[in-house]
Structure 1
Amino acid sequence: MVQGFSREPGTEGPLADIPEGGRRRVWRWAVVIALGGFLFGFDTGVVSGALLYIKRDFGLSAFEQGSVVSVLLIGALLGAVAAGRMAENLGRRKALGIEGAVFLIGTAILVAAPGYGALLVGRVVLGLAVGAASATVPVYLSEVSPKEIRGRVLTLNQLMITTGILISYFVNLLFASGGQWRGMFAVGALPALGIVVGALWVLPESPQWLIRHGRRDEARALIVSVAGEERADHLIEQAQRRETQGLRSDSPRAGGWRVLLEPRVRAALIVGLTLAAVQQFGGINTIIYYAPTTIENTGLSASNSILYSVAIGVINLLMTIVAIKLVDRAGRRRLLLGSLASMLVMLALLGLSFVIGMNALLSLLCMVVYIAAFAVGLGPVFWVLIGEIFPPHARAAGSSASTAVNWISNFVVSLVFLPVANVIGQGQTFWVFAAVCAFGLWFVSRYVPETRGRDFEQVDAALQTRFRKRPQVGAEAG
């Protein structure tokens, strides 16, 4: 269950043959944890349809529309920054429960909002929860999953994000006829309540967190419930040995954010922060947030724009399911390279379609293929990697930092997309995103190793090899 609970590198992990009931239990926990990802997707996607009616009711300018979208990202940045310390001090389970409660508060403010100012407050509060959950969920999932299915379990986060986005599009469609944007936001209260209930009565604490905080008996009982009595002591000993080795590897051990300054963490941090920025500056959320607006610019009506955005959401979901099938077979690195290359081509063509005035359906096709490429690679694999590449003692802080950069990048792109597109043209803006994907393709090919089926020691050795350009003990090709 804990990522480090396996035999020596290169051998089959002791959880590879855990009872079927234990595996089902792990997946049940993972689904509840990943509700945080669902709300991430829902609350970032629902605004795309609601914005068409909010701007009419409150007479919002272009800047005000952009701020309603992007102010959530300010809250998300703050939430992501705070999440690492909260998850480390309180535990993963309590942190997730608190985040669910904040989701409920933010939703209530939005539903009752009397004007523009209250909308901004509600979106900031939702952002706090979205950002904190986006940092907590990958760490939590990583620490309750055996390495043999770790990629699939971590990809569940992205699946729930895309499911949340798709459901938000259907909700938008359902309420569109009456322009009921308050109802669109209100639906988000249901999964938020599910997180709170799950944290109180369904989820266990991360075994690795329990061991790190001296609660060995609780960790052992939890492992027994999944792996059985005869494996539990062995797994505890393995985890404690790793913790001891980790404590000796960097002396003196820094606390909090300072762990990210340790030499051992530096390579993982560079990968995490760079992929976080590329994922957003590659343009994905200009499609997610502004899909109806972008499609409307091709000449289609607002109602048809929402309908076609549902099609985009379906493709996003289906290709994420494909990614779950492939991530532990094809590997993370191969999916990243193929994804970025395809995104690059589609963004170039999408930009061309706006520049030369191609048929609206051809522009829509480029958007759909771009979404598919993102959903099968860069989208889920980023969240998988930030749960795998950091040392156990720095995992919460590393995930928090990477997620914070992801939200900073998200904020910048979503805030300036419409103004920049108005200045240089929408097609040319997509070409800028294509250039970012080209950089990402080079970076992944040069610096990102394969992590599929590897223990942390192997992942770390491969990272150091790529950054130091000299062999490291335990490193493998890729």
Structure 2
Amino acid sequence: MTGSYVEIGSPKPITAFDDATKLAARLIKPKPILYTSMFLSWLQPFQSGWSTSQLNLSDYNNTDECNARPVVEGTCTLFSGHSKLEWTFAVNAWIFGAMIGSLSCGHFSDKYGRKKTLMGNCSFMILGGVVQASVSNIWAFAVGRLISGLASGIATGTIGAYVNELSPPHMRNTLGLGLQIFTTLGILVPAICFFFANTSSGWRYLAAFPCILAVIYLVLAPSMTIESPAWLLTQGRTDEAKQVIANLYGEEHVSTAMSWLEVSKPHVEDDSSSSRDSMFAPRYRMQLFGGLLLSCAQQLSGINAVFYYSGSIFSDAGISDSRIGTLIINFINIWPAFFTGVVANRFGARNMILWGLAGMVVMAVGMTVAFVVELPALSIVFTALYVIAFGVTLGPLVWVMTADIFPDSIRASASSLCIGVNWLCNLIVGVAYPYVSDALNDYAYVPFVALLVVFYLLALKLVPETSGKSAEEILAEYDSRCGKHTTALD
């Protein structure tokens, strides 16, 4: 579908994304190539969710069963007799790999383009899956997890920018949710598989499954995906970018689309010579702080701690099978994101982020009270509401807004840095929370309450409204917050 471009003329230039142009943009009906490009790209965050969940079965790592000598047959089924240190290393090697992948992907995305970066990423998906499925010791398995982590980090660091750059401004809130939805689907499916893959070799099939996703992408992407027009413009390939836009939206909408692509403005030509340097330029400082804030808030909100603690919460409520508790919490986690696009378009992404932070403060306090007074049923209610508040706000919208707030010339590199910090915070929570929980017991969520309050106050200053706005409008809002006055040609 990308091999033959529509022949287009030289449309009358539109130099501002004004109200009339916004109205024209809303009339755009994207072509199928836009949706196939996004759907295929979302197979990669599905792998990320899959890797998150594939080891979350108590039979793989019951401490007492794995420490027993001899290990009873049918217990500690993943590398029988492994130590707690070995297991911790294997689990967190994936997060470490994801952090490295997300921090490095901006360079490759800027140099080779979004599409080629995602195609190259499939090699890490395949290699990681093959290593995990075939090895005979847990240390080699951890190496496979690290390689799969590289794939997860590259995917999360690239796809947000890719989807943002393909989407018309009024559709970004909705289409940007795909990353989170497919991640949560990837988390859910292994939880279902645990009911019939709970065998001595079942984990190998789970580890190998992402290879299938990579092969599907490699086979279909050459003909069913398209390069980002924003990236083409940063490379000075204007004619090719216009041809891509015509394939995405139709020849009649090329001028309209060019108006919201910030890189078509003359002032960007001076900035785009080095995206790494411009990312840290004083003009973009607040955007960078805002993106880092969103990334930290998503992971340090305590959501992963909720998943860590959910097994004991459901156990106290009388649900002894950990697989059922995991499945329940994963179902609760997935459905709110389907409504986020509609709500965010109505109330604004910024308001949703603020409401989510405030709501999670209330729910975290409620969870703490329920733990202290030993009311398991109430604990489940507040846990579910906590997950819902996250799932409809911070969960999906952080990916959308992290891409939105940066201009096209620095989006890939800046998003890469922010998502890398996101994975770093994920690693910190994964390693530190068990010790915090042991030290504080029923008050283990109090630190998250304090962090959520701080994030709320900072978001008031650092996070602007991005819904339906061009990169130029968002940049102008940041400039106004800094007391600067700019025009499109600054």
TM-score, scaled relative to structure 2:
0.87
C-alpha distance in 2, partners of 1:23/1:324?
20
1:33 corresponding residue in structure 2:
41
* Structure 2 residue aligned with 1:298: 316
In 1: Cα distance, 2:82 partner to 2:485 partner: 57
Counterpart secondary structure, 1:59: coil
Instruction: Give unmatched runs, 5+ long, in structure 1.
Output: none
Is 1:365 the counterpart of 2:361 in the alignment? no
Distance (Å, rounded) in 2 between the aligned partners of 1:231 and 1:305: 53
Q: Distance in 1 between matches of 2:302 and 2:451?
A: 9
Deviation at 1:299, TM superposition (A): 6.9
State the superposition RMSD in angstroms. 2.6
The corresponding residue for 1:52 is: 60
Closer, same or farther: CA 136–240 of 1 in aligned 2, 3 Å: closer
What does 1:30-429 align with in structure 2 at a 5 Å threshold? 30-49=38-57, 52-53=60-61, 56-57=76-77, 58-176=80-198, 180-232=202-254, 235-236=257-258, 239=261, 242-248=264-270, 250=271, 255-288=274-307, 290=308, 293-295=311-313, 298=316, 304-359=321-376, 361-425=377-441, 427-429=442-444
CA 1:355 to 1:113, structure 2 compared with 1: closer, same or farther past 3 Å? Answer: farther
Change (3 A) 1:271 1:51: farther
Q: From the superposition, tell whether residues 7 and 197 of structure 1 become closer, same or farther in structure 2 (CA, over 3 Å).
A: farther
CA distance in 1, matches of 2:445, 2:394: 17
- State the partner residue of 1:454: 469
Compared CA separation, residues 450 and 237, structure 1 to 2 (3 A): closer
Following the alignment from structure 1 to structure 2, what is the Cα–Cα distance between the partners of residues 174 and 109? 23
- Asked whether the 8 Å contact 2:31–2:250 carries over to 1, the reply is no
Structure 1 residue 429: Cα displacement: 2.0
Deviation of residue 413 (structure 1)?
0.6
Cα deviation digits, residues 329-353 of structure 1 (max 9, x gap) = 2210111111111111222222333
Contact 1:9 1:454 in 2 (8 A): no
Q: 1:465–1:472: 8 Å Cα contact kept in structure 2?
A: yes
CA distance in 2, matches of 1:209, 1:443: 31
Gaps of 5+ in 2: 1-13, 67-75
Distance across 2 between alignment mates of 1:212 and 1:143? 12
- Say if 1:334 and 1:180 are closer, same or farther in 2 by CA, change over 3 A: same
Deviations 1:402-460 (A, max 9, x none): 001001100011011112222332x3221211211111121222321111111112211
CA contact (8 A) 1:96 1:199 kept: no
2:3 maps to: none
Counterpart in the other structure of 2:8: none
Shift in CA distance, 234/16, structure 1 to aligned 2, threshold 3 Å: closer
Counterpart residue identity of residue 11, structure 1: A
8 Å Cα contact 2:48-2:183 kept in structure 1: yes
Residue 18 (1) aligns with residue 37 (2):
no
The answer (yes or no) to whether the contact 1:15–1:227 under 8 Å persists in 2 is no
- SS of equivalent to 2:345: coil
Moved more, 311-320 or 168-177: 168-177
**Greater Cα shift, 41-50 or 336-345:** 41-50
Identity %, equivalent residues? 27
Q: Tell me, what secondary structure is at the counterpart of 1:31? A: helix
* In structure 1, distance between residues paired with 2:419 and 2:382: 28
**CA deviation profile, 1:157-186 (whole Å, cap 9, x unmatched):** 111111111122212233236683223323
The alignment partner of 2:56 has SS state of: helix
In structure 2, distance between residues paired with 1:6 and 1:24:
27
Closer, same or farther in 2 for the Cα pair 1:316/1:347, shift >3 Å?
Answer: same
SS in structure 1 at match of 2:374: coil
Contact 1:155/1:324 (<8 A) preserved = yes
Say whether the 8 Å CA contact 1:37–1:157 is kept in structure 2.
Answer: yes
Distance in 1 separating the partners of 2:210 and 2:346: 34
Name the count of aligned residue pairs.
460
For the pair 1:9 / 2:21, whether they are aligned, the reply is: no
Pair 1:377–1:305, CA change in 2 (3 A): same
Matched position secondary structure for 2:414:
helix
Q: Which residue identity lines up with residue 272 of structure 1 in the other structure?
A: G
Tell me how far 1:108 sits from its aligned partner.
1.3
C-alpha contact 1:265 1:391 (8 A) present in aligned 2: no
Give 1:53 shift: 4.7
What is the SS of the residue equivalent to 2:54? helix
Amino acid at match of 2:103: V
Aligned letter for 2:230?
Answer: Q
Q: Is the 8 A contact 2:301 2:448 kept in 1?
A: yes
In the superposition, relative to structure 1, how do residues 61 and 283 fare at CA in structure 2: closer, same or farther (>3 Å)? farther
For residues 362 and 195 of structure 1, what CA distance do their matches in structure 2 show?
A: 44
Distance 1:98 1:298 in 2: 46
Displacement of 1:229 after TM fit?
A: 2.4
- Aligned-residue offset at 1:327: 2.1
Contact 2:57 2:194 in 1 (8 A): yes
CA contact 1:291–1:309 (8 Å) conserved in 2: no
Mapped partners of 1:64, 1:70: distance in 2: 10
Q: Distance in 1 between matches of 2:310 and 2:157?
A: 28
CA contact (8 A) 2:33 2:226 kept: no
**Given the superposition, is the C-alpha separation of residues 110 and 329 from structure 1 closer, same or farther in structure 2, using an over 3 Å criterion?**
same
TM value normalised by structure 1: 0.89
Q: 1:382 to 1:357 in 2, by over 3 A?
A: same
Q: What is the one-letter code of the residue matched to 1:26?
A: L
| Larger deviation, residues 222-231 vs 104-113 | 222-231
